[in-house]
Amino acid sequence: MAVTEMEVRGPRVSDAERVLTPDALAFVERLQREFGPRRDALLAARQQRWAALKRGGTLGFLKETASVRAADWKVAPVPRDLEVRKVEITGPTDRKMVINALNSGASVFMTDFEDANTPTWDNMVSGQANLTDAIRREIDFTSPEGKRYQLNAETATLVVRPRGWHLPEKHLQVDGRPIAGAFMDFGLYFFHNVRILLERGSGPYFYLPKTESHLEARLWNDVFSFAQDALGIPRGTVKATVLIEVVTAAFEMDEILYELRDHSGGLNAGRWDYIFSLIKKFDQRADYVLPDRIQVTMTVPFMRAYTELLVQTCHRRGAFALGGMAAFIPSRRDPAVNEQALAKVRDDKQREANDGFDGTWVAHPDLVPTAMEEFDRILGARRDQLDRQRPDVSVTASQILDIRVPGGTITDAGLRTNVSVGIQYIASWLRGTGAAAINNLMEDAATAEISRSQVWQWVRHGASITGGPRITEDLVRQVEREELDKVRLAVGDDSYSEGRYAEAAELFEQVALSKDFVEFLTLPGYDRLG
């Protein structure tokens, strides 16, 4: 292989020579040339579907794929090291996180080039180097305090989340245009590591984010087949779990599994991104206004409908069903906070295990034992719950779209949380850290998306705080000033000025107070990164 027309426009970074080799870049270029036009067409199809919803359209199960839903088929089995998914820990690709997550005792480590990562050039390249070192067991890290981190003998199974189809990589260009970030993330990881993964008895495993349709899953499947053929790897070696975090995909779960049936690792139930997608797709609908996001739990009717359908669909097809995130970060100083939060985590994981999920997500190593205990309690010696077919579940399209939250309210605290956490997360993201600890929770881009989308929805549709004033642009700006003053007081003037908080507030306003709904805040945010 040899690079022909690809141009590397990124600044010099330390790991570039071993990650951005000529053959690896040539492989990524082949992916972009082969599949870039289809990716562009699918992104255009997203806009057309969204426009139809704006004109009053609705969603339902597809008539043209009814035969797929009715037919009797199953996905291919997964390799041994991906058969147990009881607890999956998630986090970015920085060196210390990779070591700690692999050592956490979790079944799987989902390492993230997407929502828990700021796509700076250095992050994207160094992340690839860190994963390559981890797979070869050549990774270590020494903290500024002198503490050394290295891999245990037994580690979690590694699964990689590349960027979604919508995100570009401006530092790699073909014919003068940025390539899809997904092609860089998948291509470099697959090219550098597939053979040694197979030698070690593992394989190239992925999580696919922001998938909106079975046609987008079909594109991924074709990418996998092409990549495996190009490197002489047997088809079916890749395994990919799809995040159902967009409402349109909830109506195509059977079809998504079918498209990836030789490469499927199952489906995962999103929360913040899923709710964000409802607000976005039905942005013109006043009847879709939601209460404070903390009140939109996984047990409200529309979330329960979609997650129960997910378990039933997966198990009918022999695919794993993975539950949602526990984002709590245990406090080192406040046992009372931990006791209360861990009780909620335990209840949430108990519900998922009882519902038939095969595993769940946590954001911190200290949550692994709590989550593992609840799944061990239900599974016992079993590796999964694929035998739980859930014949009791019968979900209609209207149930998936019935977004009523019984007793839901919009509160001043909810507005302030959205504004404050949204801005604090964006500031962290702009500084290069995409997984941010805020108020004892590990937040990623999905938190900022649900925060700003709720503010946009409340302003756009003239919602009011329960028993209080109408939520206007002026009120949001007032709350913003007050919350930023609290941040400045907490961090100090120097840290505030260096922390990009003012710029974060500017970006927050751009996506929360715009006339038209901005599809993803990370797109205008990416323009602000070097």
CA atoms of 178 and 176, how far apart (whole Å): 7
388, 445 Cβ separation under 8 angstroms? no
CA atoms of 388 and 166, how far apart (whole Å): 35
Strand order through the sheet with 168-174: 6-8, 168-174, 177-180
CA atoms of 475 and 512, how far apart (whole Å): 13
Distances (CA, A) of 380 to 265, 296, 322, 374, 377: 22, 31, 17, 10, 6
Tallying the residues shown for the chain, one arrives at: 530
Q: What is the DSSP string of 304-323?
A: HHHHHHHHHHHHHTT--EEE
Which of 112, 254, 348, 444 is catalytic? The answer is 444
CA atoms of 136 and 169, how far apart (whole Å): 27
89, 110 Cβ separation under 8 angstroms? yes
Long-range contacts of the stretch 277-282 (C-beta < 8 A, 24+): 277/245, 277/246, 277/247, 277/248, 278/247, 278/403, 279/450, 279/453, 279/454, 279/456, 279/457, 280/50, 280/453, 280/517, 280/519, 281/50, 281/53, 281/59, 281/246, 281/247, 281/248, 282/53
First to last CA, the chain: 30
Asked whether the CA dihedral 147, 149, 154, 157 is positive or negative, the reply is: positive
Which of 85, 95, 161, 351 is catalytic? The answer is 161
Q: Looking at the DSSP assignment, which residues form a beta bridge with residue 361?
A: 88, 325
451, 293 Cβ separation under 8 angstroms? yes
State the residue for tokens 């007050």. 482
283 is annotated as an active-site residue: no
CA atoms of 377 and 474, how far apart (whole Å): 51
Pairing type for strands 140-142 and 148-150 reads: antiparallel
444 is annotated as an active-site residue: yes
**DSSP H or E segment with residue 243:** strand 239-244
Q: Which amino acid belongs to residue 76? A: A
CA atoms of 181 and 32, how far apart (whole Å): 10
Catalytic residues: 161, 444
